[in-house]
Amino acid sequence: MDSFAFVGGFLLIVGVAVFFFPKLIAGYNTMSKEEKKKINIKKVKKHLAMELVVFGGLALLLLCFPQYPSLRILWDLLLLIVLLVSIVLFNLPSFRDK
């Protein structure tokens, strides 16, 4: 269960850092100026930061319920669903248009 505390804390810190420093987003720092103009970085950083903070909060919340191993299955399903939704959202044109 200590891994949930480490992962939860790490995700919370990274989520806040990504919001304030969007250059931490993989690939954004290496884009050319023309490519960066095509990306709506405000939407991307807000969405990514919110996602990381929610995952971190859920991981820390699971520490409150160690006697329920079925929550681990729920965590895995929730992680899969949110990741799939994020992939779809990031590929929508609204994230690429300014």
pLDDT digits (tens, 9 = 90+) for 54-70: 888 877 887 777 677 77
Residues 53, 12 contacting (CB under 8 angstroms): yes
Helix 2-20 crosses helix 41-62 at what angle (to 10 degrees)?
A: 160
Residue found by looking up tokens 């729920």 in the block: 74
* HEC secondary structure over the chain: CHHHHHHHHHHHHHHHHHHHCHHHCCCCCCCCHHHHHHCCHHHHHHHHHHHHHHHHHHHHHHCCCCCCCHHHHHHHHHHHHHHHHHHHHHCCHHHCCC
Number of domains observed in the structure of the chain: 1
Give the mean model confidence (pLDDT) for residues 38-51. Answer: 86
What is the extent of the structural domain holding 84?
2-95
pTM confidence score:
0.71
The pLDDT value given to residue 20: 95
The pLDDT value given to residue 21: 92
Give the mean model confidence (pLDDT) for residues 20-27. Answer: 89
Give the mean model confidence (pLDDT) for residues 29-48. Answer: 87
pLDDT digits (tens, 9 = 90+) for 62-98: 777 767 777 777 777 877 887 788 778 777 776 655 5
